[in-house]
A = this chain, B = another copy of it.
Amino acid sequence: MIVAGAQDDAALFRRIDDFLAGYVHCIDDDRLEEWPDFFADPCLYKIISRENHERGLPVGIMQCDSRGMLKDRIASMRKANVFAPHTYRHQVSGLQIERRPEGKLACRSNFLVVRTMADGDMAIFATGRYLDRLTLESGAPLIEERLVVLESRRIETLLVIPI
């Protein structure tokens, strides 16, 4: 993907890797009000099953296309609070970055989310891949599009916290 051995590509990789690590810690540490700031505006944040993604079906489990919608989602989650308390902890690996025209980047990585309930019970909540389009236009990286492709389709009703 990245042109091998190029110094500026190594520096770019570090920058994006750090940015995407920040995204994960923001969610896992329950600083969800900061989550929309990782996105450009407008943007696309979409959670979709692998099955629908591979069939080209546009039906997602969740979709937001502006920072406002991302903020609304967090706000209503904080207000409703009808779900059993739980936390997430992500693992993300296998990051690959590809340069695209006009300073855009295409990224992909694998994620695994373990959910821990208030009673201490831990379980695999979700696994799959992030398919991203990032922009560096404003200096700092921002997510223009994040497709969260879930391996499993048995997840919908439990999806409260973003992935």
Binding site for B on A (CB under 8 A): 1-2, 4-15, 18, 21-22, 24-25, 28, 50, 87, 89-96, 108, 110, 112, 114, 116, 119-124, 127-129, 151-155
Nearest CB in chain B: distance from A129 CB, A: 7
Residues of B within 8 A of A50 (CB): 87
Nearest CB in chain B: distance from A60 CB, A: 16
Nearest CB in chain B: distance from A139 CB, A: 9
Copies in the complex: 3
Residues of B within 8 A of A89 (CB): 110, 112, 127-129, 151
Q: CA A119 – CA B91 in complex, angstroms?
A: 24
Q: CA A124 – CA B115 in complex, angstroms?
A: 11
Q: CA A13 – CA B5 in complex, angstroms?
A: 9
In this complex, what residue of B is CB-closest to A23? Answer: B94
Task: Return the 8 tightest CB-CB contacts between A and B, nearest first.
Answer: A120-B154, A116-B151, A21-B94, A120-B152, A4-B15, A5-B11, A89-B127, A114-B127
Q: Are A22 and B4 in contact (CB under 8 A)?
A: no
Residues of B within 8 A of A87 (CB): 50, 151
| Residue from A12, A89, A121 with most neighbouring chain B CB atoms (10 Å) | A89
Nearest CB in chain B: distance from A88 CB, A: 9
Residues of B within 8 A of A112 (CB): 89, 91, 112, 114
Q: Are B7 and A11 in contact (CB under 8 A)?
A: yes
Q: Are A96 and B6 in contact (CB under 8 A)?
A: no
